[in-house]
């Protein structure tokens, strides 16, 4: 009797399972939507700033419209939605996949630009280092990857509408990376680590050309040599500094503003 009661429960459980499956199916509101409608809904969510709602819609669209230009557009807009929602790794993975699958796409210039922007905004915010004196190292990988994406865009698509902005960002990145090297050199100098300061200042001078930070790099180099009692190298560096920056305040005022130490200029 007990066994028959237990067995009688089985059909009921199966019925519930079937109903649950139906409910799950019904939960997909896009089940009967056309690809164009999915795109329209995803676009509306994207433009309203509802990026977390737009992303799954673009994912569905990629599957439903596979092999069509609409699927490619969905990939690009999904990458943008990831970028705007603060998921740079997902954005970059989506863009890498797009560029691998569609190397001849007319939107390749945009994909490169967006990849550069994603890395640019993800990492260059960290160049607020100028107010932080407790740093000795920082990962610059994203900034360099951003530069490479912009460089590829500029070289492959010189007439792209995105190229002028990419060039400007490349200049900013180079200036920022050079300034970072000098910042670290200054960090070491102010703590009496003169050999380390010399190494970082020399790295900036070797790796970068025509950027504003090099004036300070030479000054730090000169001061570090002086602190180590290396008079000949100090004087040689001073001559280079004066030749390249004849109006340099580092030389004329010893890097000082009023009574502040020279490193307090920053």
81-132: per-residue pLDDT in tens? Answer: 999 999 999 999 999 999 999 999 999 999 999 999 998 875 554 444 444 4
User: Higher model confidence: residue 80 or residue 257?
Assistant: 80
Residue 168 falls within a domain, yes or no? no
Residue 85 falls within a domain, yes or no? yes
Start-to-end C-alpha separation, the chain: 88
Task: Give 122-181 pLDDT, tens digit per residue.
Answer: 555 444 444 443 333 445 788 889 999 999 999 999 999 999 999 999 999 999 889 989
Mean pLDDT computed over 59-63 = 94
Residue 48 falls within a domain, yes or no? yes
> CA distances (Å), 237 to each of 58, 146, 188, 204, in order?
58, 33, 18, 14
Average pLDDT, the chain: 84
Residue 151 falls within a domain, yes or no? no
Residue 88 falls within a domain, yes or no? yes
Domain total of the chain: 1
Residue 122 falls within a domain, yes or no? no
Task: Give 205-217 pLDDT, tens digit per residue.
Answer: 999 999 999 999 9
Q: Residue 80 belongs to what domain range?
A: 32-98
Residue 217 falls within a domain, yes or no? no
Q: What pTM, to 2 d.p., does this model score?
A: 0.74
Residue 244 falls within a domain, yes or no? no
């Amino acid at each position: 009797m007990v066994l028959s009661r237990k067995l009688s429960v089985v059909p009921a459980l199966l019925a519930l399972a079937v109903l649950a499956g139906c409910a799950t199916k019904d939960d997909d509101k896009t089940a009967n939507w056309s690809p164009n409608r999915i795109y329209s809904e995803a676009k509306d969510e994207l433009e309203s700033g509802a990026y977390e709602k737009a992303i799954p819609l673009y994912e569905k669209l990629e599957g439903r419209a596979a092999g069509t230009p609409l699927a490619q557009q969905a990939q690009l807009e999904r990458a943008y939605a990831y970028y705007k929602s603060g998921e740079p790794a997902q954005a970059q993975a989506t863009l890498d996949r797009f560029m691998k699958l569609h190397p001849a796409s007319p939107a390749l210039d945009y994909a490169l630009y967006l990849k550069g922007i994603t890395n640019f905004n993800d990492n260059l915010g960290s160049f607020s280092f100028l107010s932080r004196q407790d740093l000795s190292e920082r990962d610059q990988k994203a900034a360099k990857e951003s530069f490479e994406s912009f460089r590829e865009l500029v070289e492959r698509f010189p007439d792209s509408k995105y190229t002028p902005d990419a060039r400007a960002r490349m200049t900013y990145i180079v200036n920022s990376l050079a300034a970072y090297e000098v910042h670290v050199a200054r960090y070491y100098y102010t703590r009496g680590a003169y050999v380390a300061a010399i190494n970082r200042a020399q790295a900036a001078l070797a790796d970068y050309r025509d950027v504003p930070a090099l004036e300070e790099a030479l000054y730090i180099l000169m001061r570090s040599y002086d602190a180590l009692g290396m008079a000949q190298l100090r004087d040689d560096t001073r001559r280079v500094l004066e030749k390249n920056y004849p109006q340099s305040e580092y030389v004329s005022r010893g890097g000082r503003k009023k009574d502040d130490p020279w490193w307090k200029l920053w």
